[in-house]
Amino acid sequence: MKLAWLKTVENAHEDSVWAATWVPSTADDRPPLLLTGSLDETVRLWSPYELKCEATNTGHCLGVVSVAAHPSGEIAASASLDSFIRVFNIRNNETIATLEAPPSEVWQMQFDPSGTTLAVAGGGSASVKLWDTGKWQLIASLSIPRPEGLKPSDKSSSKKFVLSVAWSPDGRRLACGSMDGTISVFDVSRAKFLHHLEGHFMPVRSLVFSPTEPRVLFSASDDGHVHRYDAEGKSLTMALSGHTSWVLSVDVSPDGEAVATGSSDRTIRLWDPKMRAAAQTLNNHTDQVWAVAFQPSKGPGGRGCWLASVSDDKSISLYDYS
Amino acid sequence: MGEEGDTVLTLRQLQESVDSHPDDPSHHFNLGVFLWEKGKQSKEIKEKAAEHFVISVKFNPQNDAAFRYLGHYYSRLSVDNHRASKCYQRAVTLNPHDSESGEAICDLLDQEGKESLEVAVCREASEKSPRAFWAFRRLGYLQLHQKKWSEAVQSLQHAIRGYPACADLWEALGLAYQRLGMFTAAIKSYGRAIELEDSRVFSLVESGNIFLMLGSCRKGVEQFQQALQISPQNVSAHYGLASGLLGLSMECISLGAFRWGASLLEEASKVAKASTCLAGNISCIWKLHGDIQLTYAKCFPWMEEAQGLEIDEKFFSTSILSWKRTCCLAAVFASRSYQRALHLVPWQANIYTDIAITSDLICSLQGSDKQDLNAWQLPEKMSLGGLLLESSNSEFWVALGCLSSHGALKQHAFIQGLQLDISLAVAWAYLGKLYREKGEKQLARQAFDRARSIDPSLALPWAGMSADIFVRELTPDEAYESCLRAVQILPLPEFQIGLAKLALLSGHLSSSLVFGAIQQALQRAPQHPEAHNMNGLVCEARFDYQSAASSYRLARCAISTFAGNVRKSHLQDVSINLARSLCKAGNALDAMLECEDLKKEGLLDLEGLQIYAISLWQLGKNDLALSVTRNLAANVLSMEQTSRAASISFICRLLYYISGQDSAIISILKMPKELFQGSKISYVVSAIHALDQSNQLESVVSSSRYFLKSHEEITEMHFLIALSKLVKHGSKDYLRIQTGVNHLKKFLHMYPSSGLMRNLLGYLLLSSGEWNGIHIATRCITAGPSHCSKEEGLRSACEILGAAVVACYTTGNCNGKFSFPTCGYECLHGSGAIQQLQKWLRQEPWNHNARYLLILNYLQKAREERFPPHLCIVLERLIGVALSSQMFSKKDMSCQYQKFQLLLCASEISLQGGDHIGCINNAKKALGLFLPDGSLFFAHLLLCRAYAAEDNFVGLHEQYLRCLELKTDYHIGWICLKFIVSRYKVQNDSNLLELGLEESPKEMKNSQNMWMAVSSLVHGLIAIWTQDFLSAEQFLVQACLLASAESSLFLCHGAICMELARQQCDSQFLSLAFRSLKRARETSLSPLPIVSLLLAQVEGSLGSKTKWEKNLRLEWFSWPPEKRPAEIIFQMHLLSRESKEVSDSSLSAESCQNPRRWILQAIHLNPSCLRYWKALHKLME
């Protein structure tokens, strides 16, 4: 397993690039695209091979903190610090919907695998909001229960500030990570909180389920560790350490064999879960790496895929994973 | 070889002693120590040593050193920590001072993580002995680690007694103090640590932090800079430095030093940026960077880079736009930095508010219009973000209230904030502002009052109070004061412009506080036309009309570029201001053009008309000016009372200037009388009346004078009346000064404290040229340090004083060291005048008059003291400085005259110093000036003297003829000339000289007599030269008749009579002499010398011995001790001889010495006199 550097676009945005995701290829064979969001208030689409900027979408008033792509590859959503979510058509940048939440209540977003629901990490509301992608209406709010012994009037809800969210590949479970380091797991169909996954003691900024194993959840936290949980069994199955600063982002390769992480220590690491160790460390970014994203493979046939990383140094890099 | 041998020998000896006394532990111990020391790396020898230690310990379990060695052995060689710690423990228990063992056991325990055991060991040792400093040190560190601050302080303080030079301990103590909140103590401890080791980064950073916390940013910045020099990668030092610089710049900004603040912020921003590169994921650094940029955006000043902005409107607007762009860019940077901080820690509520404030600033700078009122605005929404996370924070509510654009929401937010904290002054203040905007004056007032009473250091309530000037019924002064307070607390342009407006109302416009404020306002609100307009008004109040005009031009540019639709009246006001200041600046043409522009638009009001008229008149377009004036006069009746008087005065003056006195008088008579009611107009009418010989305006003037009310106004009017009397009663080229003097004397009794009248009286008296006038002049002015600089009337008091003292012939030296004053008027100021003038010159070093008068006074003094060299040097330098002044290049008559006088002074000094060439050169230079003959006469006179001194009689004669040709009005000139002529026997065939003296003006009676007397005296003196004592006596009789108050004339007469009596042995002359001398003694104020001596001689000749004695004694006392001549001493010898013979009872002066000593003293003073020697010889016999 290896990452080979392919290309870097310097000054891809005017300011720090904070979010990146792959837009899957569409039914009519449009290739997958890379979607990035930045502090310069824009969202950009990049062609996959030469990383050519295909489109620059404006419209946010503050920096873009999160981007999400619909499984169909037709629509995408971007969210900014002022808690507006803009849902737009990939092809023509047409605004499909503008979802507004109270400020501080929109962070990471993800579409569910079937594309019917958009889950949004609800920040200060200590919940995950689910939006219906047909009517663009709020359908549910999955709240993290308050710890026992805490009076409802107590204003310390910010302890459970929800930063990250992840759908299980089968769409049945939803995990969210919060500022105090706990990860909460919900049963989506019953809209019910199941349990906490513990082990981190600092904010969990990124979560991802293994695409091959629905029970396996990877988490990245400011405490510098990457954890692997059994989300059903409520147990920590592995902790990977090596980053010297916060781990900002985690993603699992389509084959489920490798995990990539981006960190504040300006490196990207490729981990081999089987070996429980880092397989590779990449140092090509000059500032903290806010997001790493594997290109989802279309089928079992394609062995290799790409990894994209974005950083505070305004650049985007592309690697070949094999 | 030797050493090794020694070792072997010692070893053998030790071994032997062990062998001989196997039970003695000390031998074992000694051997053990020897082996341990020598063993070095060899394990076997050390093991052997250990064996001996074990034996030693077995026999003597009290040997702590043995335990220590054993401990070393177990910990280092056999690595048995358990045993090692046991041994060390034992060693420490036996000897708590054993720091080696103590440190070792603590290290062992530390490695094993047994912190509590470690503490116990240390505590035990420290309790056992207060000198176990190692234990205190260790304990202190441990307590520090456990955050038991106050216990740590005690332990560390104790430990420091043992290790006073240990920087670690001081640093630890500093930390403990800091955590306890004892900041001063902490700073001292850190300072000590730094003193001991100057590379203590921790101490530097922490003491820097404390300094910042205590508000002394500059000291903090120094600490951080020092820390960064040692450790350039230190993030906390970077952070501290940046925040220290931010703090410094805030201080600058609160004083209004925007540019300084901005430059500090630029530096701070660089530092903060550098630290973000070191640690990009620390949100507080990004927040700090945001704070710095936001402050920069709020303080970056607009600067007038180039002159002439007011002409080029486009240049002006681009300059302002680029300023705005800079501010906006900084705000965007700030926003970005805050967003990064928020992205890192989205749960921190205050960053939402920061972003909200920044977005609000960006919106206002970009000038984007408020959009849909129903949608959330970004600033509003972001401030809500903070509230969602921390709804109990009252300041977030206030922020929401300030940033929201929705009135009801604002009010709600402020009230929410107040519910959380009723004493939140800011919320009250903003609530007051909100109510004011809504027009609810009463509520606004209450809110402001409450805010002010809670926190008087808040600017807004003060500003609010001053804005409510009419609701609160404040006087303009009160409003100005409270606005000033607001400006001083917070230099906001809105407050500053308001301050200028209130200053206009209350008459403080020329205050430098207002000037500073409005200049600052320009830096922060250059797009605001009112700022420029106010700046113009302030400049105008400070008499800087050029700047005022350019400010008004800028105001117009700002109106046309940045203010959308402005009322026409505003533009009109600015234009009229511009015209006025142009007119005042002397730029009549531009002023007229401005007025014409206004006229075209129909905006020319009455003030404008006046400016128009004045500028037309200045341009010489008298007809147009007259028609404008007529236009103005037609509108006068419709004006308000206050401005009406000003307009009338203006019209009268303009009429006078344009069409002359007569037509002005006719116009005044035509106008209704009730228009001339007021003090100002009264002056104007009186002045015109003064010039009018036919008194047509009598009734108008007298009626208008009823309106003079205040003390000052009345004295000013008297001033005017006195002047008018001079003019009215005088002829064309001759002023009747005496009438003015009389008037002033009369009214000075009513207003004795009026400096104005006093000065004028002094001036008039001086100008009258009367003999005694000058003395009265010095008495009627009040000159003092506080009066010198004040210009009152035509001349200042100091000038009059200086001139009067120069003019006084008695030269006013009262100490009698150089002469005997006979002036009957007792010059009050005398030598004090020079001091007074020096004070004046020091106050106004640029004042030529002061220097000029000082020079003249010094010359007088020098003359009196017979030109001592030091005074001559001073004078030369003073004259050099004075002549180098630019002022004398002017063609003005008075300047030329002053230069002439100075040159004559210089010439006189040269003459006295024996430099004839210099004297002649200076005098010739003086002759080159364009002056009336009467003055040039004196230059020739001086040349006469110079040639006489050179014995150049041809030149002398030539100059003499020139003098006769030129003639002069001054008696003194003629008299001097006469004196010189007689002295040097210049051929004098014509009678011109006598004629000249008689032709001199005779209008002044007193002076005329005096001059004639002096002239007679001179004649008498000339007669004495020719030994013609009889005619000399005649001349002096004449002189004494003419000036009966001059004691010196009588003295002279008396002396001549005595000489005559001696020559002719005529007792008639003796009685004449007696009478004159008696008269001389009676008239002189202070005892004149010689008079009594001569009298004594007269009495002696007449045969009265007692009277002779009495007079001689009087003579003795009429001399100052240091000046008594030899003769008087000699005379005293006679007296003492007499008294010796008669009686010894007297206490008089002569009895203090015997006759011989008197003679010796006389001889000592004048050894050349044969008479004294003879007398001595006689006495010795």
Write the residue in B339, B347, B388 that is nearest to A39 by C-beta: B339
Buried b (16+ CB within 10 A) or exposed e, B823-860: bebebebbbebbebbebbbeebeebbbbbbbbbbbbbb
Inspect the interface and report whether the beta carbons of A104 and B359 lie closer than 8 Å: no
Q: How far is CA A110 from CA A133, A144, A219, B167, B1178, in A?
A: 12, 18, 15, 56, 142
Which chain B positions have a beta carbon within 8 Å of A262's beta carbon? none
Q: Which domain holds residue A229?
A: 3-143+159-321
* pLDDT band at residue B1141 using 50, 70 and 90 as cut-offs: low
List beta partners, residue A88.
Answer: A76, A95
Amino acid at B1149: A
Which chain A positions have a beta carbon within 8 Å of B281's beta carbon? 245-246, 264, 288
State whether residue A26 sits within 8 Å of chain B by CB: no
Within its chain, how far is the Cα of B1040 from the centroid? 57
Burial of B695 (0-12, 13-18, 19+ CB in 10 A): exposed
Dist. CA A258–CA A210, nearest whole Å: 10
Inspect the interface and report whether the beta carbons of B378 and A246 lie closer than 8 Å: no
pLDDT at B789 over 60: no
pLDDT at B806 over 80: no
Q: What is the pLDDT of residue B583?
A: 86
pLDDT at B459 over 80: yes
Dist. CA B1017–CA A97, nearest whole Å: 122
Q: Which residue has the tokens 């229960």?
A: A145
Residues of chain A predicted below pLDDT 50: 154-158, 299-301
What is the percent of chain B where pLDDT is above 90?
15
> In this structure, what are the phi and psi dihedrals at residue B831, rounded to the nearest 5 degrees?
-70, -20
Total domain count, chain A: 1
Q: What is the pLDDT of residue B820?
A: 63
Burial of B915 (0-12, 13-18, 19+ CB in 10 A): middle
Amino acid at B6: D
Write the residue in A107, A264, A288 that is nearest to B346 by C-beta: A107
Does residue B92 contact residue B125 with C-beta atoms inside 8 Å?
Answer: yes
- What is the rounded average pLDDT of the residues B797-816? 66
Inspect the interface and report whether the beta carbons of A288 and B390 lie closer than 8 Å: no
Q: What is the pLDDT of residue B778?
A: 73
Inspect the interface and report whether the beta carbons of B388 and A103 lie closer than 8 Å: yes
* pLDDT band at residue B309 using 50, 70 and 90 as cut-offs: low
pLDDT at B825 over 60: no
Dist. CA B172–CA B789, nearest whole Å: 64
Each residue of B678-697: pLDDT tens digit? Answer: 777 788 888 888 877 777 77
pLDDT at B973 over 90: no
Residues B904, B910, B912, B915, Cα dihedral to 10°: -140
Q: What is the pLDDT of residue B1134?
A: 78
Amino acid at B263: S
Write the residue in A18, A83, A245 that is nearest to B343 by C-beta: A18
Q: What is the pLDDT of residue A66?
A: 93
Inspect the interface and report whether the beta carbons of A155 and B388 lie closer than 8 Å: no
Dist. CA B111–CA B117, nearest whole Å: 12
Inspect the interface and report whether the beta carbons of B336 and A39 lie closer than 8 Å: yes
- Report yes or no on A63 lying in a domain: yes
B73 DSSP 8-state letter: I
Q: Is B207 helix (H, G, I), strand (E, B) or coil?
A: helix
Distance (Å) from the C-alpha of residue A82 to the closest C-alpha of chain B?
Answer: 7
Q: What is the pLDDT of residue B816?
A: 52
Q: What is the pLDDT of residue B916?
A: 87
State whether residue A182 sits within 8 Å of chain B by CB: no
Q: Could you tell me the maximum CA-CA distance found in chain B, to the nearest angstrom?
A: 149
Ramachandran region of residue A115, left (φ > 0), alpha (ψ -120 to 50) or beta? left
List beta partners, residue A305.
Answer: A321
- Report yes or no on A148 lying in a domain: no
Inspect the interface and report whether the beta carbons of B355 and A62 lie closer than 8 Å: yes
Each residue of B416-447: pLDDT tens digit? Answer: 999 998 889 999 999 999 998 888 888 888 99
Distance (Å) from the C-alpha of residue A85 to the closest C-alpha of chain B?
Answer: 14
Which chain A positions have a beta carbon within 8 Å of B276's beta carbon? none
Contacts of range B277-280, beta carbons closer than 8 Å, 24 or more positions apart: B278/B233, B278/B235, B278/B238, B279/B235, B280/A264, B280/A287, B280/A288, B280/A312
Inspect the interface and report whether the beta carbons of B347 and A158 lie closer than 8 Å: yes
State whether residue A275 sits within 8 Å of chain B by CB: no
Does residue B536 contact residue B552 with C-beta atoms inside 8 Å?
Answer: yes
Provide ipTM, 2 decimals.
0.92
Helix ranges restricted to H, B1065-1143: 1067-1083, 1091-1102, 1105-1118, 1126-1142
Q: What is the pLDDT of residue B1048?
A: 80
Give the relative orientation of helices B606-618 and B641-670 as an angle to the nearest 10 degrees: 50
Residues 358-387 of B with CB under 8 A from A: 359, 376, 378, 381-382, 384-385
Amino acid at B255: L
Helix ranges restricted to H, A73-128: none
Number of A to B CB contacts under 8 A, please give it. Answer: 74
CB count in 10 Å sphere of residue B272: 27
Inspect the interface and report whether the beta carbons of B340 and A39 lie closer than 8 Å: yes
Buried b (16+ CB within 10 A) or exposed e, A240-271: bebbebbbbbbbbbbbeebbbbbbbbbbbbbb
Which chain B positions have a beta carbon within 8 Å of A126's beta carbon? none
State whether residue B349 sits within 8 Å of chain A by CB: yes
Inspect the interface and report whether the beta carbons of A81 and B378 lie closer than 8 Å: no
Inspect the interface and report whether the beta carbons of B378 and A82 lie closer than 8 Å: yes
Distance (Å) from the C-alpha of residue B351 to the closest C-alpha of chain A?
Answer: 11
Inspect the interface and report whether the beta carbons of A61 and B378 lie closer than 8 Å: yes
Candidates B235, B276, B332, B343, partner chain A, best to mutate (most A CBs within 10 A): B343
Dist. CA B918–CA B929, nearest whole Å: 17
CATH architecture entry for B1004-1121 = Alpha Horseshoe (1.25)
Amino acid at B291: D
Write the residue in B281, B339, B390 that is nearest to A62 by C-beta: B339
Residue in chain B closest to A124 (alpha carbons) equals: B389
Q: What is the pLDDT of residue B1031?
A: 86
Ramachandran region of residue B79, left (φ > 0), alpha (ψ -120 to 50) or beta? left
Inspect the interface and report whether the beta carbons of A158 and B390 lie closer than 8 Å: yes
State whether residue A107 sits within 8 Å of chain B by CB: yes
Q: State the average pLDDT for chain B.
A: 82
Distance (Å) from the C-alpha of residue B280 to the closest C-alpha of chain A?
Answer: 7
Q: How far is CA A3 from CA A25, A264, A304, in A?
A: 22, 20, 10
State whether residue B347 sits within 8 Å of chain A by CB: yes
pLDDT at B784 over 70: no
- Single out the residue of A295, A289, A262, A278 nearest to residue A17, CA to CA: A289
State whether residue B340 sits within 8 Å of chain A by CB: yes
Inspect the interface and report whether the beta carbons of B339 and A155 lie closer than 8 Å: no
Candidates B278, B347, B394, partner chain A, best to mutate (most A CBs within 10 A): B347
Q: What is the pLDDT of residue A252?
A: 92
Which chain A positions have a beta carbon within 8 Å of B382's beta carbon? 62, 82, 103
Inspect the interface and report whether the beta carbons of A104 and B335 lie closer than 8 Å: no
Which chain A positions have a beta carbon within 8 Å of B404's beta carbon? none
Distance (Å) from the C-alpha of residue B339 to the closest C-alpha of chain A?
Answer: 7
State whether residue B331 sits within 8 Å of chain A by CB: no
Each residue of B606-625: pLDDT tens digit? Answer: 788 888 888 888 888 888 88
- Single out the residue of B1112, B1134, B1147, B1148 nearest to residue B1179, CA to CA: B1134
* pLDDT band at residue B933 using 50, 70 and 90 as cut-offs: confident
Inspect the interface and report whether the beta carbons of A15 and B336 lie closer than 8 Å: yes
Q: What is the pLDDT of residue B701?
A: 78
Write the residue in B281, B355, B376 that is nearest to A288 by C-beta: B281
B103's enclosing H/E stretch is helix B99-111
Q: What is the spatial order of strands in the sheet that A259-263 belongs to?
A: A247-252, A259-263, A268-272, A277-282
Does residue B495 contact residue B479 with C-beta atoms inside 8 Å?
Answer: no
Among A107-121, B563-577, B777-791, B1040-1054, which is the least confidently predicted range? B777-791
CATH 1.25.40.10 domain locations along chain B: 1004-1121
Q: What is the spatial order of strands in the sheet that A192-197 belongs to?
A: A162-167, A173-178, A183-187, A192-197
Residue in chain A closest to B353 (alpha carbons) equals: A103
Residues 279-298 of B with CB under 8 A from A: 280-281
CATH of the domain at A241: 2.130.10.10
Q: What is the pLDDT of residue B190?
A: 93
CB count in 10 Å sphere of residue B266: 15
Each residue of B138-180: pLDDT tens digit? Answer: 889 999 999 999 999 999 998 998 898 889 999 999 999 999 9
Helix ranges restricted to H, B256-370: 258-278, 283-299, 313-344, 349-366
Ramachandran region of residue B26, left (φ > 0), alpha (ψ -120 to 50) or beta? alpha
Inspect the interface and report whether the beta carbons of B385 and A104 lie closer than 8 Å: yes
Q: What is the pLDDT of residue A301?
A: 46
- Report yes or no on A154 lying in a domain: no
What is the percent of chain B where pLDDT is above 70?
91
